[in-house]
């Protein structure tokens, strides 16, 4: 158990629909990260939060993507007007105690039809 | 050019074999280095950190060569349960993003 839960674990949607994913760290962490992993690739950084503040966003995060961490605990990632290219596993991560590496939640697997 | 490069494999080896994976990274400012393991349809899990002095954890040995910007992982006496994808990971800036290679797939057969 890495101390991070994600919901839903799987999501199938039609192109053009909006989807929202949630990440819940079990304990308090000042930092929280989102990554995306497509088939045959390693995870790619999307964005990260320091408490409530979103401090860095990858250029992968188009304007259809928005992430929030309103109370500095759980986080949501919303994708508007989904496209087939959004099909991927979306991973949430928290920093390790030494802050050098990260532990990942189980991910949300998105399939856009 | 990708920031972290790995041979995607697959590497097919028999049980008991020794197998080595290599990885190169392009950002000389990279500060921390790791190997993660990922099972099919699961999240990546930290396998071990990598240091210039080398480090060993049971059958696993990792090595970093900063001058060559090269990272290696050696697995001795392979087990069936070692079958997975091994991801080379660097952290260029403290507290920020991890950069992953594409992963190297290992298949250990009886």
List, for residues B15-61, the tens digit of each pLDDT value: 999 999 999 999 888 889 999 999 999 999 999 999 888 899 999 99
A9-to-A76, A110, B52, B88 alpha-carbon distances in Å: 14, 9, 38, 25
* pLDDT for the residue B89: 96
Could you give the C-alpha distances from A4 to A38, A59, A100, B31, in angstroms and in order? 21, 25, 17, 25
Cβ atoms B69, B25 nearer than 8 A: yes
**pLDDT in the model for residue A107:** 97
B55 contacts in chain A (CB < 8 Å): none
Which 40-59 residues of chain A touch chain B by CB within 8 A?
A: 40-45, 48, 56, 58
Instruction: Nearest chain B residue to A4 by CA: give it.
Output: B43
Instruction: Please give the mean pLDDT across all residues of chain A.
Output: 93
Q: Supply φ then ψ for residue B81, to 5 degrees.
A: -70, -10
Q: Which residues of chain A have pLDDT under 70?
A: 1-2
pLDDT at position A1, please?
A: 64
A103 touches chain B (CB under 8 A): yes
How far from chain centre, in Å, is Cα B77?
17
pLDDT tens readout for residues A33-52: 999 999 999 999 999 999 99
Q: What is the pLDDT of residues B74-92, one digit of tens each?
A: 999 999 999 999 999 998 7
Q: Is A100 on the interface with B (CB under 8 A)?
A: yes
Question: What was the pLDDT predicted at A100?
Answer: 79
User: How confident is the model at residue B94, as a pLDDT?
Assistant: 58
Put simply, the answer to whether B98 touches A2 (Cβ < 8 Å) is no
A72 close contact with B: CB closer than 8 A = no
The pLDDT, as a whole number, for residue B31 is: 85
Phi-psi region of B54 (alpha: psi -120 to 50; beta: other; left: phi over 0): left
Give CA–CA dist A40/A38, Å, rounded. 6
**Residue B97 pLDDT:** 87
Which residue is listed with tokens 């995060």?
Answer: A61
- A107 at the B interface (CB within 8 A)? yes
Band of pLDDT at residue B4, cut at 50, 70 and 90 = very high
Q: What's the confidence (pLDDT) of residue B95?
A: 57
**Residue B58, Cα to own-chain centre: how many angstroms?**
15
């Amino acid at each position: 158990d890495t101390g991070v839960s994600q919901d839903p674990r799987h999501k199938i949607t039609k192109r053009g629909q909006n989807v929202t994913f949630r990440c819940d760290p079990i304990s308090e962490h000042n930092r929280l990260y989102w990554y995306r992993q497509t088939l045959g690739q390693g995870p790619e950084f999307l964005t990260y939060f320091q408490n409530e503040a979103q401090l860095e966003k990858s250029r992968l995060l188009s304007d259809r993507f928005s992430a929030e961490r309103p109370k500095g605990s759980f986080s949501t990632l919303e994708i508007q007007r989904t496209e087939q290219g959004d099909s991927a596993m979306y991973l949430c991560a928290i920093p390790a105690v030494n802050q050098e590496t990260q532990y990942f939640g189980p991910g949300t697997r998105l399939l856009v039809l | 050019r990708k920031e972290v490069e790995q041979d995607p494999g697959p590497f097919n080896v028999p049980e008991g074999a020794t197998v080595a994976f290599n990885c190169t990274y392009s950002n000389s400012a990279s500060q921390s280095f790791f190997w993660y393991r990922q099972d099919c349809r699961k999240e990546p899990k930290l396998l071990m950190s990598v240091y210039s002095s080398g480090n060993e954890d049971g059958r696993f040995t990792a090595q970093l060569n900063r001058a060559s910007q090269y990272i290696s992982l050696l697995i001795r006496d392979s087990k069936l349960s070692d079958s997975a994808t091994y991801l080379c990971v660097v952290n260029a800036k403290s507290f920020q993003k991890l950069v992953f290679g594409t992963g190297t797939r290992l298949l250990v057969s009886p």
